[in-house]
Amino acid sequence: MTFTDIFVRRPVLATALSLVIFLLGLHAYSMMPVREYPALVNTVISIKTAYPGASPNTVQGFITARLEKVIASAPDIDYMTANSSDGSSTITVYMKLNYSPNAALANIQSKVQQVTDQLPAGSQLPVISVTNGHLTDLLYVAFYSQELSQQQITDYLLRVAQPRLASVPGVGEAQILPPGAGNGNTYAMRVWLNPQKMAALGITAAQVSQALAANDFISAVGQTRGKTVQNTIVATTNLHNVGEFRNLVLRQSGNTLIRLKDVAKVELGAQDYTSQAFFDGKPAAFIGIQEAPSANSLNVASGVKASLAQLTKSLPPGVHMAIPYDASTFIKASIDEVVMTIGITLAVVVLVIFLFLGSFRAVLIPAIAIPLSIVGAGLITWFMGFTINLLTLLAVVLAIGLVVDDAIIIVENVHRHIDEGKTPFEAALMTGRELGGPIIVMSTTLIAVFAPIGFMGGLTGSLFGEFAFTLVATVLVSMIVALTLSPMLSSKILRPTREHGFEYFIEQRFTGLRDFYDRILGSTLNYVPVTMLFAVVVFGSIYFLFSTSKSELAPAEDQGIIFNAGTGGPTITPDRLANDGQQVLKVLNKYPETRATFMVTGISVGSGGGSNSLFAGMNLTNWDKRSTTAMQLQPQTQRALQSVPGLQVASFLPPSLPGSAGGLPVQFVLQSPGSYGKIDQVAGQLIAEAYKSGLFFYVTKDLRIDNPEIVLKINRNMAATLGLTMANIAQDLQPLLGGNYVNRFDMEGRSYKVIPQVPDHFRLDPAALKRYYIATGSGQMVPLSAVVSIETKVEPQYLPQFQQLNSTTIQAVPKPGVTLGESLRFFKAAAEKIMPKDFSLNYASQSREYMQESGALLTTFALAIILIYLLLAAQFESFRDPLIVLITVPMSISGALIFISLGLASINIYTELGLITLIGLIAKQGILIVQFANEIQKKEGLNKRAAVQKASSIRLRPILMTTGAMVLGVLPLLLAGGPGSVSRFQMGLVIFTGLGIGAFFSLFVVPAMYMLVAKDLRAPRNTQEA
């Protein structure tokens, strides 16, 4: 008695076991969290150091280089970028995937602390933050009002909204936008110095700063303590309002007190005037919600919205709130689409089985086995710590077509034995004995295909590990169900075919089809060399088809948003940038698909940019309310935005996969230890070649040597004669021009910065600087023109570095139909022709991920082939028979590549996984034929030709049924629309075309290969008789 006999003879045991599997699986699914993708930890550490008034060269030499050197020794860094600009150093460290953010932060902090005491005086302490590196935040919440100023709104956000939202579990940062100097455009005590009045009264900027620091002093005096009473002593050493600052005494001249109001205009203004924010064209303030690196986006978004619902009830009068962008909307819609696809696929597969068998009784068995296998697999995936996400749900869609194979094979075989005169009970016993081995082999074959994916490293392994093991778990449970429940159900449900009705009609049609196939196969076997020559040609075509197919990391998806990054000229003012940005919003709002727009000036996307850059979003209406996709709109917006005067604007879509560091899709890095001038020259030539190629809408670089720089050349001899030191001159000039804060003041329980600075109209042109006055060693006021001369030159606005080398990152937006792989191949080939020997190439963001992941799945593909070969060799006890089975693989791969090379899809992570899936699917067809042919040789004594022809005819119906169920089962993926449908379409296309074409040719190529390779397994007596 075999293992399967136990369950056929004990139906209650088989039923109870299946119910236990089903109930435990249901419970496991109820406890699994829901998220967009498997949990990925993408850690990015940012180190920002302010050095007000310092030039980019000074910042790079004295801050950036020192920090980079020590940070580079931290473990598990993928790559590091740096950007030195006027008064600011920004170093961004991208950690390797799934590296702990806490460990990364601790390591970087310890490295930075080693050199903080070596940073120049006047620079602020480095600010270290950890983010997930995404291009945009999870949500943007807009606050706007016609009654309140942006500073008033920002102050409310700082006091009330930001603390509340930052406390939501999973929120990594609730950042106020526009960013200003870190806290948005909040209040600051602005001391607008008048150089003329200061000179007349003999007051220097250094003296003003010293007076502010000395007389606005936060003190903690102490306490008085008696035997029974204790009192806290408070001294009014600090200032609280505009009036107190205005009356601050700077010095006494005779009997006259010179106050701050005598040399400056004091007002409660904004901390920063270089950035602004707009919602649908109206001035606003935003809070950007960024989830922590390991947080669940759906949970975070849900928590934030619940907090906002409470916050809405307490908004100040006249303040309105809106959510112009919410990434969780796309996530939820994508998951809903996949869940609906699962239901449609299940219905399609059941219908296909019915059309092949013509019996409701026969359909009932697969209809039970499919959900049982899928639900039961939930127990295994829950134990492995998986989540319900887009990729595990996609695995369920494919699993429906996979698991139905086992049930179909069992049902068809039992049905055949019943029609041959066996009772249902006897037929079930025979089927279990005949097919137990092949089902185990087919299941282990599929496991061998998918398991290597789960053990891959990098982005592919992290993303698709759960996908692969979900399929493995489903195949395992399906195998158990096929060996325990399906034969028992067949013995109870199936009946002989009646000689009338729909079932009989179907049976007659298949009998005719089998006879027709038998005749065609017989003719084909007369020309085995021709058939094999065809197979060789198909195998050789794979390289051609693969090399002519376009490649990318992942296809673009319609996520309901189009992003836009703009850059103005180096001398553009914040107000002019905001005005030009309004033209961008007008262009975006003219499209009927636009739901809302938002814009923040003074920030950049990717490296480079800053005060002359802007970032805008075009949020689209829901997918069911528009017929135009984001991929179709993006080229239109790109063309329209090219007409906006004063700005270069790139329109692009967000990355399709998590983990990308943001920026434009193409990011190609030129590195050199040489000068920035040489790098800029080579980059300029490369950009010119890119535009000539016609492949790109927009190409830019972060290195721009176009920033006018004013050089104050100090006459050191004259300075020495006047008793001036370089420190004296710097201390007088920095408060006038630097915009650095000297201390803080208290207002209603919060501290705000005190910032002295010369107003704009006193620094409109370089000549105005000569009219500033400084104090000599004797206290005499002399014009700056006495010791300096002014020169102007053009310098880089930003000094970018990549991996501690001078660099520039060329970013580009390809035209429609131009993939990431094609773009990078162009840049690499063009750069190698242009760049000098001391230059090197590198990649960032999505481009880096593409280069890292390219070829990874090819290795997995080869490993899967080897594992299947070895498993089949062990099963058949032959090194020849696996070759017969695997001859079908090139058939299916080439069938899929034909349609990819025609441009219906690209080579990407999804299609490569589809190609790997084809290996297991198509190999199952060959296993059935080879297994039965070997058995026929042994039991019936037929020669190889007769055996394989009979086996092929017998197995025709289950092969067509399983192929039809799988091919038509992925049809919903091909027909689906809406969010996330592009990647599902491309994977479905590969399986639909590859399996359909491969299965058709395998019906003829496998028997021909069997004739060439298989052994003669007939007993010696039969062999001699033959």
Q: Which of 194, 273, 88, 58 is nearest to 711 (CA)?
A: 58
| Residue with the two structure tokens 């290996």 | 919
**Which residues on adjacent β-strands are paired with residue 842?**
669
Task: Give me the long-range contacts of 814-819 (CB less than 8 A, separation at least 24).
Answer: 814/665, 814/666, 814/695, 814/696, 814/697, 815/635, 815/694, 815/695, 815/696, 815/697, 816/631, 816/635, 817/903, 818/695, 818/696, 819/550, 819/551, 819/552, 819/906
Query: Cis peptide before 814, with omega less than 30 degrees from 0?
Result: no
Residue that terminates a domain, selected from 653, 669, 694: 653
Each residue of 481-504: pLDDT tens digit?
A: 999 999 999 999 988 866 667 877
Residue that terminates a domain, selected from 653, 669, 695: 653
Question: What is the sign, positive or negative, of the torsion defined by CA atoms of 108, 109, 115, 116?
Answer: positive
What are the b/e assignments for 478-512, b being 16+ CB within 10 Å?
Answer: bbbbbbbbbbbbbbebbeebeeeeebeebbeebee
CATH code where residue 365 lies: 1.20.1640.10
CA distances from 385 to 169, 389, 398 (A): 21, 12, 21
Task: Give me the long-range contacts of 968-973 (CB less than 8 A, separation at least 24).
Answer: 968/348, 968/349, 968/352, 969/345, 969/348, 969/349, 969/352, 969/397, 969/400, 969/401, 969/404, 970/345, 970/397, 970/398, 970/401, 971/348, 972/341, 972/344, 972/345, 972/348, 972/397, 973/341, 973/397
pLDDT band at 322 (very low <50, low <70, confident <90, very high): very high
In a domain, 95, yes or no: yes
In a domain, 675, yes or no: no
For 200, other C-beta atoms within 10 Å of its C-beta total 13
CATH code where residue 116 lies: 3.30.70.1430
Look at residue 302 in the predicted model and tell me its pLDDT.
Answer: 93
pLDDT band at 82 (very low <50, low <70, confident <90, very high): very high
In this predicted structure, which of 530-544, 635-649, 771-785, 997-1011 has the lowest mean pLDDT? Answer: 771-785
What are the b/e assignments for 787-806, b being 16+ CB within 10 Å?
Answer: bbeeeeeebbbbbbbbbbbb
Nearest-5° Cα angle at 621, 615 to 622: 125
What number is the average pLDDT over the span 542-556?
90
Return the H-helix or E-strand segment holding 476: helix 458-493
Give the Cα separation of 180 and 800 in Å (integer).
Answer: 22
SS (H, E, C) 211-250: HHHHHCCCCCCEEEECCCCEEEECCCCCCCCHHHHHCCEE
What number is the average pLDDT over the span 92-106?
91
What number is the average pLDDT over the span 641-651?
90
763 DSSP 8-state letter: S
Backbone angles phi, psi at 224, to 5 degrees: -105, 145
Claim to verify: residue 523 and residue 649 sit in the same structural domain: no
Look at residue 408 in the predicted model and tell me its pLDDT.
Answer: 83
CA distances from 186 to 157, 530, 615, 933 (A): 9, 80, 20, 81
What number is the average pLDDT over the span 670-687?
94
pLDDT band at 1024 (very low <50, low <70, confident <90, very high): very low
Look at residue 60 in the predicted model and tell me its pLDDT.
Answer: 94
651 in Cβ contact with 620 (< 8 Å): no
Regarding predicted confidence, which is higher, 658 or 44?
A: 44
In the chain, the largest separation of any two C-alpha atoms, in whole Å, equals 136
Give the Cα separation of 841 and 84 in Å (integer).
Answer: 21
In a domain, 660, yes or no: no
569 Cβ contact partners less than 8 Å away, ≥ 6 residues apart: 612, 646, 706
Claim to verify: residue 487 and residue 603 sit in the same structural domain: no
Each residue of 130-159: pLDDT tens digit?
A: 887 776 788 999 999 988 888 889 889 988
pLDDT band at 987 (very low <50, low <70, confident <90, very high): very high
What percent of the chain is modeled with pLDDT above 70? 97
CATH code where residue 203 lies: 3.30.2090.10
979 Cβ contact partners less than 8 Å away, ≥ 6 residues apart: 330, 333, 334, 337, 557, 558, 559, 560, 623
434 in Cβ contact with 423 (< 8 Å): no
Q: Which of 329, 814, 336, 816 is nearest to 620 (CA)?
A: 329
920 in Cβ contact with 471 (< 8 Å): no
Each residue of 786-844: pLDDT tens digit?
A: 888 888 888 888 899 999 999 999 999 999 889 999 999 999 999 999 999 999 999 99
Q: Compute the mean pLDDT over every residue in the chain, rounded to the nearest whole number.
A: 87
**Which residues on adjacent β-strands are paired with residue 781?**
775
In a domain, 806, yes or no: no
What percent of the chain is modeled with pLDDT above 90? 42
Claim to verify: residue 646 and residue 714 sit in the same structural domain: no
Look at residue 874 in the predicted model and tell me its pLDDT.
Answer: 87
In a domain, 622, yes or no: yes
For 529, other C-beta atoms within 10 Å of its C-beta total 9
Claim to verify: residue 960 and residue 1011 sit in the same structural domain: yes
SS (H, E, C) 626-688: CCCCHHHHHHHHHHHHCCCCCCEEEEECCCCCCCCCCCCCEEEEEEECCCHHHHHHHHHHHHH
What number is the average pLDDT over the span 177-205?
81
Look at residue 481 in the predicted model and tell me its pLDDT.
Answer: 93
**The two three-digit tokens of residue 179, written as one number:** 């960013």
Could you tell me the residue range of the domain that residue 233 belongs to?
Answer: 187-272+707-795
CA distances from 805 to 666, 731, 830 (A): 20, 33, 21
Claim to verify: residue 565 and residue 544 sit in the same structural domain: no
Return the H-helix or E-strand segment holding 999: helix 981-1013
In a domain, 374, yes or no: yes
Each residue of 421-463: pLDDT tens digit?
A: 889 899 999 988 888 888 888 888 888 888 888 888 788 888 8
pLDDT band at 353 (very low <50, low <70, confident <90, very high): confident
81 Cβ contact partners less than 8 Å away, ≥ 6 residues apart: 91, 92, 94, 607, 800, 801, 802, 809, 844
Residue 220 class from Cβ within 10 Å (0-12 exposed, 13-18 middle, 19+ buried)?
Answer: exposed
Claim to verify: residue 989 and residue 862 sit in the same structural domain: yes
Residue 738: is its pLDDT beyond 80? no
Claim to verify: residue 466 and residue 529 sit in the same structural domain: no
What number is the average pLDDT over the span 1-12?
85
216 in Cβ contact with 238 (< 8 Å): yes
Domain count, the chain: 5
What number is the average pLDDT over the span 377-381?
94
In a domain, 952, yes or no: yes
Claim to verify: residue 520 and residue 441 sit in the same structural domain: no
Q: Which of 841, 829, 845 is nearest to 671 (CA)?
A: 841
**Which residues on adjacent β-strands are paired with residue 802?**
81, 805
**The two three-digit tokens of residue 345, written as one number:** 């696929």
Ordered DSSP codes for 680-732: HHHHHHHHHHHHHHT-EEEEEES----EEEEEEEE-HHHHHHTT--HHHHHHH
Each residue of 100-122: pLDDT tens digit?
A: 999 999 999 999 999 999 999 88
Claim to verify: residue 896 and residue 1016 sit in the same structural domain: yes
In a domain, 324, yes or no: no
Claim to verify: residue 647 and residue 527 sit in the same structural domain: no
What number is the average pLDDT over the span 173-192?
79
Look at residue 894 in the predicted model and tell me its pLDDT.
Answer: 93
Each residue of 229-241: pLDDT tens digit?
A: 777 777 777 888 8
Look at residue 1023 in the predicted model and tell me its pLDDT.
Answer: 45
Claim to verify: residue 522 and residue 586 sit in the same structural domain: no
Residue 675 class from Cβ within 10 Å (0-12 exposed, 13-18 middle, 19+ buried)?
Answer: exposed
54 in Cβ contact with 87 (< 8 Å): yes
389 DSSP 8-state letter: -
Question: What is the sign, positive or negative, of the torsion defined by CA atoms of 1002, 1008, 1013, 1015?
Answer: positive
Look at residue 607 in the predicted model and tell me its pLDDT.
Answer: 46
pLDDT band at 221 (very low <50, low <70, confident <90, very high): low
Which residue type is seen at 638?
A: Q
Regarding predicted confidence, which is higher, 532 or 856?
A: 532
467 in Cβ contact with 886 (< 8 Å): no
| Residue with the two structure tokens 């700077």 | 250
Claim to verify: residue 712 and residue 585 sit in the same structural domain: no
What number is the average pLDDT over the span 255-283?
89
Backbone angles phi, psi at 33, to 5 degrees: -70, 155
Give the range with max mean pLDDT: 195-209, 578-592, 603-617: 578-592
**The two three-digit tokens of residue 296, written as one number:** 């669940």
680 in Cβ contact with 802 (< 8 Å): no
- Number of H-type helices and E-type strands within the chain: 34, 31
Residue that terminates a domain, selected from 113, 131, 149: 131
